[in-house]
């Protein structure tokens, strides 16, 4: 039987239990509110932090590294600005004020995919000189980086270097633009591995590189003999790079090869460049290493998916564009497209081949279409007999090109599997379209035409647009890849499905 005393005690305990439960619930609610409030503050803080604008820092010959790097209180040294301990962060810009700076500039940090690239930019005329233009070593550049990423290097003039002007090693997501390299010991600009040179996929150590609107003049200027350790690379070298663009550059007066894409480089483009007076040593007693103006240079690793288009390649001492594999034991070269190029006046008759476009061994799946070639020693050579061993070139298409006014012969074809050559226009200086050697397996040739003159606007003045009476108009095959729908000038080439097109790099456009 429950007494009044016991009933009051139970009521007392019930009140205590209720108060405890209420306080516990209140405490949990307050904790939840605090947690949510903290999350909100943290989120807002992160949002504010993410919205902090990039900063601009300045370097001047009259600055001091203890300064904050502002325009009125700049830093003194470029290496301080780009060094690991400087306050520069991803997305920031370093403007180097006009003047001549001496020293090796070594990138000491990286930008990021989230924060953006760090920009190192000449803010006016900035010259950078090698402190020792005689004794530099392999891989060294006056502007250089190893294992760095997310940079833009913009607008510098680099002179008189012992090895390279700009050297990027094990690099990714870097843009090199608007620079001028002059009289470099080796390459003006080179991208290459840092340490590994034994071939295969391990030598492909760079990715997503753009080389844009630079001038490379007098590269490999210390090249003296075939035994020399100086001048060991090409004017502009892309070595072991997956994903590249080499575009709108001017190369002139180089001792060896011009643009060289090599050693496993793939998934890239070489377009809208001007390449002239390369291989100046070609034809000299030591000149066999002179090399082509543009070289797709298979060596030690597979190379594929490379487009070469809209380039002007002229006045080079040796060959213009060459696609070959120097080491058939590791990898091969495949899926190469060469189109809308203007190629003229290359080679020296009686001294070297002077080929406009050459395809060598261990190369497959090449499309050569809508190029204009004129006044070369030879226009087109597909040669499976003379190059380095390995399988013969195979699966080659040569279509809708102009091969005009060669000085030695139109071309030469030997040891090729599965070659189609159709709807090309040749001048008739020689009896044959091209000379033929042995070893041709499945050569398909049709609708090629010879004429006395192509009908260029100005052959002597090197204007290779078409006149209204040109025989190049409406004789081309309509069966062309979609990337060929526009000519070198960006004029739409395809009128309607199934209609013939003009051959060569330019479509005829009626003057207004």
Name every residue whose Cβ is closer than 8 Å to that of residue 190 and which is 6 or more positions away in sequence: 141, 164, 166, 167, 168, 233, 234, 236, 237, 239
Q: Could you please report the per-residue DSSP string of 92-140?
A: -EEEEPSEEEES-EE-----BTTTB-EEEEESS-EEEE-S-SSS--TT-
Give residues with Cβ within 8 angstroms of 385, minimum separation 6.
Answer: 414, 415, 437, 439
What is the Cα–Cα distance from 177 to 367, expressed in whole angstroms? 29
Virtual CA dihedral for 446, 451, 455, 460, nearest 10 degrees? Answer: 120
Which of the 8 DSSP states describes residue 370? S
- Which pLDDT value is given to residue 14? 41
Supply 162's token pair. Answer: 């012992």
The residue extents of the domains of the chain are: 52-129, 135-143+159-454
Instruction: Identify which of 238, 236, 246, 167 has the alpha carbon closest to the alpha carbon of residue 204.
Output: 238
Q: How far apart are CA 212 and CA 178, in angstroms?
A: 7
Q: Give yes or no for a contact between 79 and 52, defined as CB atoms under 8 angstroms apart.
A: no
Reference 261, options 220, 206, 217; nearest CA is 206
Q: What angle do CA 341, 242, 199 make, to 5 degrees?
A: 105
Can you tell me whether residue 237 is helix, strand or coil? strand
- Nearest-5° angle of CA 319, CA 321, CA 327? 95
Q: How far apart are CA 275 and CA 293, in angstroms?
A: 6
Q: Token pair of 126, please?
A: 């900035």
Contact 309, 367 (CB under 8 A): no
Distance CA 447, CA 300 (A): 39
Cα atoms found within 13 Å of the Cα of residue 498, Cβ hemisphere only: 0
Q: Are 212 and 247 in contact (CB under 8 A)?
A: yes
The pLDDT score that the predictor gives to residue 289 is 63
Structural tokens at position 59: 């370097």
Assigned architecture for domain 135-143+159-454: 3 Solenoid (2.160)
CB atoms closer than 10 angstroms to residue 104: 18
Per-residue model confidence as pLDDT tens for the chain (512 residues): 333 334 333 344 343 333 334 434 433 344 443 454 455 444 444 444 456 799 999 999 999 999 999 999 999 999 999 999 999 999 999 999 999 999 999 999 999 999 999 999 999 999 999 999 988 888 999 999 999 999 999 999 999 999 999 999 999 999 999 999 999 999 999 999 999 999 999 999 999 999 999 999 999 988 765 555 556 789 999 999 999 999 999 999 999 999 999 999 999 999 999 999 999 987 665 566 679 999 999 999 999 999 999 999 999 999 999 999 999 888 899 999 999 999 999 999 988 899 999 999 999 999 999 999 999 999 999 999 886 678 999 999 999 999 999 999 999 999 999 999 999 999 999 999 999 999 999 999 999 999 999 999 999 999 999 999 999 999 999 999 999 999 999 999 987 777 899 999 999 999 87
Helix (H, G, I), strand (E, B) or coil at 263: coil
With 0-12 / 13-18 / 19 or more C-beta atoms within 10 angstroms meaning exposed / middle / buried, residue 149 is: buried
């Amino acid at each position: 039987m429950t007494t009044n005393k016991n009933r009051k005690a139970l009521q007392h305990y019930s009140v205590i239990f209720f108060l405890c439960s209420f306080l516990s619930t209140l405490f949990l609610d307050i904790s939840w509110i605090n947690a949510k409030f903290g999350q909100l503050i943290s989120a807002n803080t992160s949002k504010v932090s993410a919205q902090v604008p990039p900063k601009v820092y300045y370097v001047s010959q009259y600055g001091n590294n203890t300064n904050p790097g502002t325009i009125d209180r700049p830093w003194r040294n470029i290496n301080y600005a780009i060094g690991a301990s400087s306050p520069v962060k991803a997305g920031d810009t370093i403007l180097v004020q006009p003047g001549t700076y001496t020293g090796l500039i070594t990138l000491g940090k990286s930008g990021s995919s989230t924060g953006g690239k760090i920009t190192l930019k000449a803010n006016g005329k900035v010259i950078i000189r090698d402190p020792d233009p005689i004794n530099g070593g392999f891989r060294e550049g006056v502007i250089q980086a190893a294992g760095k990423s997310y940079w833009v290097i913009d607008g510098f003039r680099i002179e008189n270097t012992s090895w390279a002007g700009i050297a990027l090693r094990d690099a990714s997501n870097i843009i090199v633009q608007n620079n001028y390299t002059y009289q470099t010991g080796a390459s003006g600009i080179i991208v290459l591995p840092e340490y590994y040179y034994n071939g295969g996929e391990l030598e492909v150590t760079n990715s997503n590189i753009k080389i844009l609107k630079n001038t490379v003049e007098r590269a490999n200027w210390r090249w003296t003999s075939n035994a020399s350790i100086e001048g060991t690379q090409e004017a502009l070298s892309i070595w072991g790079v997956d994903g590249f663009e080499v575009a709108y550059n001017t190369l002139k007066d180089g001792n060896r090869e011009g643009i060289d894409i090599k050693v496993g480089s793939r998934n890239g483009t070489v377009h809208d460049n001007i390449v002239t007076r390369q291989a100046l040593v070609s034809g000299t007693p030591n000149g066999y290493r002179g090399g082509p103006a543009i070289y797709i240079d298979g060596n030690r690793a597979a190379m594929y998916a490379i487009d070469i288009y809209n380039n002007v390649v002229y006045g080079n001492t040796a060959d213009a564009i060459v696609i070959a594999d120097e080491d058939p034991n590791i990898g091969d070269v495949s899926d190469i497209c060469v189109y809308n190029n203007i190629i003229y006046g290359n080679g020296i008759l009686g001294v070297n081949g002077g080929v406009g476009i050459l395809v060598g061994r261990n190369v497959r799946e090449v499309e050569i279409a809508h190029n204009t070639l004129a006044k070369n020693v030879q226009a087109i050579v597909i040669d499976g007999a003379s190059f380095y061993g390995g399988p013969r070139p195979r699966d080659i298409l040569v279509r809708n090109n102009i091969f005009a006014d060669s000085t030695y012969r139109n071309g030469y074809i030997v040891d090729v599997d599965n070659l189609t050559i159709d709807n090309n226009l040749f001048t008739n200086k020689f009896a044959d379209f091209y000379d033929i050697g042995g070893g041709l397996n499945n050569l398909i040739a049709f609708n090629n035409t010879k004429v006395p003159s192509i009908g260029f606007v100005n052959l002597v003045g090197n204007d290779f647009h078409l006149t209204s009476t040109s025989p190049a108009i409406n004789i081309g095959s309509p069966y062309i890849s979609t990337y060929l729908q526009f000519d070198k000038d960006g004029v739409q080439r395809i009128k309607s499905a199934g209609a013939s097109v003009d051959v060569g790099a330019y479509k005829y456009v009626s003057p207004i």
